Amino acid sequence: MAQQLDLATVRQFGNMEFLARQLVEGFITGLHKSPYHGFSVEFSEHRLYNSGESTRHIDWKVFARTDKLFVKRYEEETNLRCHILLDVSPSMYYPEATNGKLTFSALAAAALTTMLQKQRDAVGLITFADKILEQSPVKSTGSHVHTLMMTLQNLLNQPRPTGQTDVAKVLHQIAAQIPKRSLVIIFSDMFSRQEDADAIFAALQHLKHQNHEVLLFHVMDQKTEAAFEFTERPYVFVDVETGEQLKLQPSQVRESYKKAIEEFKHSLELKCHQYKIDFIPVDINEPFDKVLYGYLVKRGKMRV
């Protein structure tokens, strides 16, 4: 199945769980032919045998197939708690024709939820704009995952909201209320007023100070939001959060715009590196593999 889906496809199927399973199965199948060469569907079920430990839990069937010693991994070794934070502010509904960034993020969140369930991990979903809008408990049951899928699916059928984003306030709130060390996965374009950049950095730092592992997927439509590739003609550009309008031709601001957006992205990536936060820029026009692989790498680090 193609790893790139648009809003029309999602609405046609009308089943987020089915699409998420297809994405995950296609991704895992494509990783490696051997189930124990790198990451795999058995990712959480086994770990490499360490010389000197008991041989009681070695999986001899796997040894026969791979000629490698793997130990069966039990629930207390595998379970983690994951909070998926999904930005549903007006800017995430861009491009308007497809609700592109939100569609991509919701499907990616659904796929990650599927992977977490496969690994018996507990997951919760938080949607936010200028405040927390919906917050689920963190569980691993099938009924809970089904509820999360319905929440994500319903997001794609709602009209674009109004108002602005306050990423910093929400992140501070989440950092303060998550009691145990968790994996926090954020889907957001991180767009905010220029003067709020330092506040966002402080909020990300707060999450790390609370000992959480953080994975930030910076979601953008690279063609228009980063490269500013618009046909050369007059446009009325509208800020979807403030309603402010600007009439101009793309060439009038392209270079200055690209410089400003690049500086923002660079400073965001720099701060994430400084705080030991995994920063992964994603383009909504590309496949979901980067998101799924980024998650597996992060989870692998947490198991070390």
The answer, yes or no, to whether residue 13 has pLDDT greater than 70, is no
Considering the domain architecture, whether residues 156 and 117 belong to the same structural domain is answered as yes
The answer to whether position 222 is within a domain reads yes
Considering the domain architecture, whether residues 107 and 247 belong to the same structural domain is answered as yes
Predicted confidence (pLDDT) per residue in 241-288, tens digit: 788 899 999 999 999 999 999 998 999 999 999 999 999 999 999 888
pLDDT at 9: 60
The span from the CA of 301 to the CA of 278, in Å, is 11
Q: What percent of the chain has pLDDT over 70?
A: 86
Considering the domain architecture, whether residues 273 and 136 belong to the same structural domain is answered as yes
Q: What is the pTM of this model?
A: 0.81
Q: What percent of the chain has pLDDT over 90?
A: 47
Higher pLDDT, 155 or 5: 155
Q: Where residue 185 sits, what CATH number does that domain have?
A: 3.40.50.410
pLDDT at 2: 43
Range(s) of the domain holding residue 69: 32-75
Considering the domain architecture, whether residues 270 and 209 belong to the same structural domain is answered as yes
Predicted confidence (pLDDT) per residue in 147-202, tens digit: 999 999 999 888 888 777 889 999 999 998 887 889 999 999 998 765 577 888 99
Predicted confidence (pLDDT) per residue in 91-122, tens digit: 999 988 788 899 999 999 999 999 999 888 99
